Amino acid sequence: MKVGILGAGQLARMLALAGFPLGVEFIFLDPSADACANKLGEHLHGEYNDPQLLAELAERADVVTYEFENVPADVAAFLTAHTTVYPPAQALAVGQDRIFEKNFFRQLGIPTAAYAEVNSLDDLKRVMDEIGYPAIIKSRTQGYDGKGQSVLKSPDDLVAAWQLLEGVPSIVEAFVPFTREVSIIAVRSPAGELVFYPLSENYHRGGILRIAECKTNDPLQAKAEEYVTKLLSSLDYVGVLALELFDVDGHLVANEFAPRVHNSGHWTIEGAATSQFENHLRAILNLPLGATQAVGKTAMVNFIGGLPSTAEVLTIANAHLHLYDKAPRQGRKVAHATALTDTEEALLLTIKQLHDLAEKTNDS
Ligand code: AMP
């Protein structure tokens, strides 16, 4: 069996590492000659919209998947016409535009912050009268890790925020006074079978995920499963999907979803009976889904912009290092470590040790 992946970054790399024991082979399409998954399979080197390379990918792979949501609609349509593509193109279309995404949540009865579309500075001034301060402005498309976003605290912030976005179509969202951020990772098979991982509790700084901790028996697990089930079923989804939510005093408010494996699920590699990467492959290859329960107290810490010393990470008891084979660059995720322990106390200690190390090497 051969899986084609659009993109050859760390998510593609971790999919390949999960696929080898199952005898799965990989072919990647990526414009970067030194993309970090290239060594783990065949590499088609070129742009994502190169018709010849897309035809080759469709021809040579049994199923095509992707590691990022900004796959252009015509690329998804071309691939879908020539081979099986999972998750389905509709999930991409909804997930890559924040307005479509929020409209979709609303249609499904999944709570969101108040939001409005903004296409000009005049629009922005007008909608802020309705939404009120504080609020957040984000580009509708292409945004990730908080890029181009600003918090609007007063009318004085509007001109600068609009300039920062360079006038691209945008969304304004009311600022959600959350007590914590969580995500749920779910998997759906072609037959509609569903499995869910325990909630991740996520700590961001500067819009970038720093730590994700697995929360077994979280009181909001059932509600999160209900919301993500609505999403998966209505999209006739196949594969892994991550739904990011705010917990506002015990009530969940949806932020966004990612139609792919997700950074907040990296703890599943050592911390769950079956990792999110293996379960994504199982789903898209129409194989039985694997058990999702946590196998201990577990969490994940990201290394951003700077590499830790391998020996230093491995000195920490209960830590498992994953290097992505990427050159460090400002704000770039280059590695993570999973903490897997027997007790809550040991977990907190391991997270602290890993976080301290990350803070020494992180550049932001
Ligand atoms: P996003 O790019 O939408 O995932 O946003 C990145 C991070 O910014 C989130 O993980 C939150 O920490 C914060 N954030 C985004 N939207 C909101 C909001 N409406 N209210 C409060 N915080 C937000």
* Exposure of 299 in the CB half-sphere (CA atoms within 13 A): 27
Q: How far is the CA of 98 from the centre of ligand 1 (A)?
A: 12
- In ligand 1, which atom is closest to the CA atom of 144? 2
From CA 346, how far away is CA 136, in angstroms rounded?
Answer: 37
Under a CB-based contact definition with an 8 Å cutoff, are residues 275 and 221 in contact?
no
Domains of the chain: 2-85 (3.40.50.20), 114-174 (3.30.1490.20), 180-361 (3.30.470.20)
Task: Give 330-347 pLDDT, tens digit per residue.
Answer: 999 999 999 999 999 999
Does any ligand 1 atom lie closer than 6 A to the CB of residue 95? no
Does any ligand 1 atom lie closer than 6 A to the CB of residue 5? no
Q: Which of 50, 51, 52, 71 is nearest to 5 (CA)?
A: 71
Average pLDDT on 134-156 reads 86
Does any ligand 1 atom lie closer than 6 A to the CB of residue 136? yes
Residue 350 Cα distances to 86, 209, 363, angstroms: 36, 18, 21
Residue 147 binned pLDDT confidence (cut-offs 50, 70, 90) = low
Residue 31 Cα distances to 46, 66, 84, angstroms: 4, 14, 22
From CA 56, how far away is CA 76, in angstroms rounded?
Answer: 14
Q: How far is the CA of 290 from the centre of ligand 1 (A)?
A: 31
Q: How far is the CA of 35 from the centre of ligand 1 (A)?
A: 28
What is the phi/psi pair of residue 146, to 5°?
75, 10
Residue 115 CA, chain-centre distance (Å), reads 22
Residue 138's contacts (CB-CB under 8 Å, 6 or more residues apart) are 98, 148, 149, 170, 171, 173
Does any ligand 1 atom lie closer than 6 A to the CB of residue 203? no
Instruction: Report the b/e string of 266-285 with b at 16+ CB within 10 A.
Output: bbbbbbbebbbbbbbbbbbb
Does any ligand 1 atom lie closer than 6 A to the CB of residue 113? yes
Listed range (61-65, 74-78, 291-295) with the worst mean pLDDT: 74-78
From CA 179, how far away is CA 257, in angstroms rounded?
Answer: 19
Does any ligand 1 atom lie closer than 6 A to the CB of residue 148? no
- The per-residue pLDDT for 144 is 60
- The per-residue pLDDT for 28 is 98
- The per-residue pLDDT for 21 is 98
Protein residue with its CA nearest to atom 1 in ligand 1: 146
Strands 25-30 and 42-45, sheet pairing: parallel
Secondary structure tally for the chain: helices H, strands E:
12, 18
Its pTM stands at 0.97
Sign of CA dihedral 68, 148, 231, 267: positive
Task: Give 263-301 pLDDT, tens digit per residue.
Answer: 999 999 999 999 999 999 999 999 999 999 999 999 999
From CA 287, how far away is CA 198, in angstroms rounded?
Answer: 22
Residue type present at position 45: H
Q: How far is the CA of 115 from the centre of ligand 1 (A)?
A: 13
pLDDT averaged over the chain? 96
Does any ligand 1 atom lie closer than 6 A to the CB of residue 101? no
From CA 203, how far away is CA 264, in angstroms rounded?
Answer: 10
From CA 255, how far away is CA 139, in angstroms rounded?
Answer: 14
Q: How far is the CA of 314 from the centre of ligand 1 (A)?
A: 33
Per-residue pLDDT at 17 exceeds 70:
yes
